């Protein structure tokens, strides 16, 4: 395993001592409080989990602008995306106060963290536009990440935090939600040193499965970390519990025992393409992984990014030595009718489009909703069954 980003040891901000945590939660009830955005609550969970090591809290406006512009804080720490607590109205709090941050995603808005307020800065319209453009490479309000980033306000409330809850993630996904330090511990127990991570917000079809296997074999890795996003997604994406069931079934049936860890993390998807790919690398380094698979349109949405922009950013914009984790660059993978196996398209220049089993997401969803399993070359039948049950349910029909 490799060392965390920016420090020799992981610095999770969650209070692990149960008695101390209970006392701090009790004390938080008497503090001035604000209900934060879902993104800020997810940032608190990531800070508490150690994924955002070595950060100690939310960035101020100056650091946010610097990170957006140059991918580094004012003090020079490499970081790809601002980690912020932004409010529409900060009139109820003051610099120097300790405040309670209330969770918007839990019934009753319990406290997720406390914060020492060291700064309250209002961003100008031009500053918001600059950050939006740098982070998302677009200002289109139809982009889900752009819409979310610009909907929470302009007051950047900065300062160190103490995390008192993992929000709904620990309760809703007890078998899957894991912190960076828990993943490090598990990999250490398994004796893994070289580990390749696979990021997903979707169920995994045959091409994804084989891509993990290719990376594992090519790198001669000790294990694979399948790491799924458990937070807020855009409308139409498959819920985390369904994805979890699909991935666990695939791993159970088609991978050797003790070669794969199926885990998840509590974060809201940014859909920021290249910048989010770099963020994914940062927090996979904090889990101890040595490699991250970055494939076609990694963390993208729609047609906002080029197919391999998430790979080229590591060559063109990430300074050499900024990260210890390495990138496993993958091409589009699909079933070859000629070779009767999944291949990377770049490896078979003699193939035409008709030589592959290619199905659009729209086509697959329509098939599943009608109770028709996709071809076995595209999706494992056991996984397709779980997805068919979902798409034929009321929740699936309304997604």
Output the domain CATH number for residue 389: 3.40.50.620
Q: Are residues 179 and 125 in the same domain?
A: no
**Pair of tokens at residue 179:** 């912190």
**Do both 233 and 101 map to the same domain?**
no
Q: Does 340 fall in a domain?
A: yes
Looking at the structure, tell me whether residues 372 and 250 fall in a common domain. yes
Domain final residue pick, 141, 170, 199: 170
pLDDT tens for each residue of the chain, 399 residues long: 899 999 999 999 999 999 999 999 999 999 999 999 999 999 999 999 999 999 999 999 999 999 999 999 999 999 999 999 999 999 999 999 999 999 999 999 999 999 999 999 999 999 999 999 999 999 999 999 999 999 999 999 999 999 999 999 999 999 999 999 999 999 999 999 999 999 998 888 898 999 999 999 999 999 999 999 998 766 777 888 899 999 999 999 999 999 999 999 999 889 999 999 999 999 999 999 999 999 988 888 889 999 899 999 999 999 999 999 999 999 988 889 999 999 999 999 999 999 998 877 778 888 888 888 888 888 999 999 999 998 888 766 776
How much is the pLDDT for 154? 97
In terms of domains, do 133 and 26 share one?
A: yes
Q: Are residues 139 and 22 in the same domain?
A: yes
Identify whether 92 is part of a domain.
yes
Domain count for the chain: 2
Cβ proximity of 299 and 233 under 8 Å: no
Which residues form the domain of 28?
18-170
Q: Do residues 203 and 113 both lie within one domain?
A: no
Final residue in a domain of this structure, among 148, 170, 192: 170
Q: What's the confidence (pLDDT) of residue 8? A: 94
Angstrom distance (rounded) from CA 352 to CA 140: 35
The tokens of 275 are what? Answer: 């910048």
Please indicate, yes or no, whether residues 125 and 244 belong to a single structural domain of this protein: no
Residues 44, 186 within the same domain: no
Residue 104 lies in a domain: yes
> Is 202 noted as a catalytic residue in this protein?
yes
Summary count for the chain: helices (H), strands (E): 14, 15
In whole angstroms, what is the distance from residue 179 CA to residue 92 CA? 33
| Structure confidence at residue 203 (pLDDT) | 85
**Domain boundary at 154, 170, 186, which?**
170
Whether residue 179 sits in one domain with residue 162: no
Q: Same structural domain for residues 141 and 187?
A: no
SS3 at position 157: strand
Within a domain: 13: no
* Within a domain: 10: no
b/e map of 196-216 (b: 16 or more CB within 10 Å)?
Answer: bbbbbbebbbbbbbbbbbbbb
Q: Does any domain span residue 9?
A: no
CATH at residue 157:
3.10.400.10
Taking alpha carbons only, the member of 97, 5, 87 closest to residue 46 is 5
In a domain, residue 244? The reply is yes
Helix extents (H) in 150-235: 169-172, 180-190, 206-218
* Residue 296 falls in the annotated catalytic set: no
- pTM attached to this predicted model: 0.93
Output the pLDDT for position 399: 60
Going by the DSSP 8-state scheme, the letter that residue 318 receives in this structure is S
Angle between helices 274-287 and 309-316 (to 10 degrees): 70
* Whether residues 180 and 159 fall in one domain: no
Percent helix, strand and coil across the chain, each rounded to 5? 35, 20, 45
Catalytic residue among 202, 248, 365, 389: 202
Residue 361 is predicted with a pLDDT of 74
Asked whether residue 273 is domain-assigned, the answer is: yes
61 and 126, same domain (yes or no): yes
**151, 144, 173, 101: which is closest to 269 by C-alpha?**
144
Interior angle at CA 228, CA 223 and CA 230, nearest 5 = 150
Active-site residue among 11, 21, 193, 201? 201
Mention every residue, 6+ apart, whose C-beta is less than 8 A from residue 306. Answer: none
């Amino acid at each position: 395993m490799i060392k965390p980003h920016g420090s020799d040891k992981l610095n999770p901000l969650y209070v692990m001592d149960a008695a101390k945590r209970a006392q701090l939660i009790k004390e938080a009830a008497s503090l001035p409080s604000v209900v934060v955005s879902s993104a800020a609550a997810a940032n608190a969970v990531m800070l508490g989990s150690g994924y955002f090591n070595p950060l100690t809290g939310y960035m101020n406006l100056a650091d946010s602008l610097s990170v957006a512009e140059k991918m580094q804080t004012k003090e020079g720490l490499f970081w790809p995306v601002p980690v912020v607590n932004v409010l529409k109205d900060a009139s109820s709090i003051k610099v120097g106060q300790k405040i309670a941050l209330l969770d918007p995603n839990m019934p009753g808005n319990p406290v997720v963290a406390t914060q020492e307020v060291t700064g309250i800065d209002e961003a100008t319209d031009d500053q918001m536009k600059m950050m939006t453009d740098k982070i998302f490479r677009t200002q289109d309000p139809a982009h889900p990440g752009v819409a979310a980033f610009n909907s929470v306000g302009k007051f950047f409330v900065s300062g160190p935090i103490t995390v008192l809850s993992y929000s709904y993630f620990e309760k809703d996904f007890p078998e899957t939600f894991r912190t960076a330090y828990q993943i490090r511990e598990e990999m250490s127990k398994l004796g893994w040193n070289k580990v390749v991570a696979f990021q997903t917000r979707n169920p995994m079809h045959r091409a994804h499965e084989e891509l993990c296997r290719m990376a594992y074999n090519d790198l001669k890795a000790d294990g694979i970390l399948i790491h799924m996003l458990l937070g807020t997604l855009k409308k139409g994406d498959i819920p985390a519990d369904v994805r979890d069931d699909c991935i666990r079934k695939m791993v159970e049936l088609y991978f050797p025992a003790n070669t794969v860890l199926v885990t998840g993390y509590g974060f809201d998807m940014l859909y920021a393409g290249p910048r989010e790919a770099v963020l994914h690398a940062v927090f996979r380094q904090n889990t101890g992984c040595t490699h991250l698979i970055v494939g076609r349109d990694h963390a993208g949405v729609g047609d906002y990014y080029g197919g391999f922009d998430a790979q080229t950013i590591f060559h063109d914009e990430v300074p050499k030595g900024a990260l210890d984790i390495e990138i496993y660059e993958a091409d589009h993978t699909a079933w070859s009718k000629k070779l009767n196996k999944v291949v990377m398209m770049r490896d078979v220049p003699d193939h035409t489009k008709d030589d592959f089993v290619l199905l659009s997401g729209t086509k697959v969803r329509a098939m599943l909703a009608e109770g028709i399993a996709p071809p076995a070359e595209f999706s494992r039948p056991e996984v397709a069954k779980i997805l068919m049950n979902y798409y034929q349910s009321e929740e699936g029909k309304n997604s």
